[in-house]
Amino acid sequence: MAIQWFPGHMNLTRKVITERVKEIDVVIEVLDARLPGSSSNPLLQELTGHKPRLQVLNKQDLADAARTPLWLDWYNAQSDTRAIALDASEPAPTRRLIEACKLLAPNRGGMAKPMRVLICGIPNVGKSTLINSMSGKRQAKTGDEAGITKLEQRIVLADDFYLWDTPGMLWPRIIVEQSGYNLAASGAVGRNAYDEELVALELLGYLQKNYADMLEARYKLGLDNERIAALHDDELLDAIGRRRGAMMGGGRVNVQKAAELVLTDFRAAVLGRITLETPEEYAQWLAVGQQR
């Protein structure tokens, strides 16, 4: 596996999720809509078993608007699972979250049986931003209540709707090669865990085949989609470096600088709205990974 990411132990996170999930009605997993499959943590499935699941495809403003519905359909077709797409500009995230959870746990609601929801997500998917926009003044740190560890946070979104923030960190778990690259491209794994040139080349390899017009629009390579797709990925990186003035002595391209430039452009959605995997592609990567 090209990207190795061992960000410390998750024992505490694992322990608290295991305890909390016993009294939870719905598990919300916040995903990055640009890489829904890769930003999902399989450990969460192990820990939460058959609890109804709401997949929130967050940062949809950065993702390909034609692909997000494919992912929503894919999740909605699974039993006990619903999916919604959100981004930080959403005016009523709380209402949409509550509505989706009620469909998953129709028997909960009212003061006697409040809806109890656990929200999880790997770093950088926008979980804190979402929680902050929902909680406003209602936020309550409840470390003193019995049965709530100091690390946990309960947010009362409505009188009969409690949201528990996961304690500790739910680090990404990289189970297939391509997910590692996509997580690195999105900025979800630490800088020291990967080689930027390698990640930029993988990213370009995907963009050449799926978003060549965006590469042309941004980098003005003077090539049509077919010619862009036919380039070797390092030729493409070289051409981009030249166009953007990422040079070093002797008329050579500074490949490291060119790679950083491509990654920065992708992360800021300067290239356009891009999704790095379709449900079918992700399923295929998983199938290949399992054969290994």
List residues near ligand GDP by CB under 6 A. 58-59, 61-62, 87-88, 121, 123-129
Shortest gap between Cβ of 169 and ligand GDP (angstroms)? 9
Shortest gap between Cβ of 124 and ligand GDP (angstroms)? 5
Cβ closest to ligand GDP, residue 88 vs residue 158: 88
CA gyration radius for the chain? 21
Shortest gap between Cβ of 171 and ligand GDP (angstroms)? 11
Neighbours of 68 (CB within 10 A): 19
Shortest gap between Cβ of 107 and ligand GDP (angstroms)? 30
3-class secondary structure, 120: strand
Cβ closest to ligand GDP, residue 66 vs residue 268: 268
Cβ closest to ligand GDP, residue 77 vs residue 270: 270
Cβ closest to ligand GDP, residue 125 vs residue 203: 125
**CB closest to ligand GDP, residue no:** 126
Cβ atoms of 215 and 235 within 8 Å: the answer is no
Cβ closest to ligand GDP, residue 61 vs residue 238: 61
Shortest gap between Cβ of 61 and ligand GDP (angstroms)? 5
DSSP tag of 149? -
Burial of 253 (0-12, 13-18, 19+ CB in 10 A): buried
Shortest gap between Cβ of 228 and ligand GDP (angstroms)? 26
Pairing of strands 115-120, 26-32: parallel
The dihedral sign for the CA sequence 39, 43, 48, 52: positive
Cβ closest to ligand GDP, residue 129 vs residue 139: 129
Supply the DSSP string of 200-229, one letter for each residue: HHHHHHHHHHH-HHHHHHHH-----HHHHH
Shortest gap between Cβ of 229 and ligand GDP (angstroms)? 28
* Long-range contact pairs involving 11-15 (C-beta distance under 8 Å, separation at least 24): 12/151, 12/167, 12/168, 13/166, 13/167, 13/168, 13/169, 13/170, 14/43, 14/47
Cβ closest to ligand GDP, residue 61 vs residue 260: 61
Chain centre to alpha carbon of residue 244: 29
Neighbours of 105 (CB within 10 A): 19
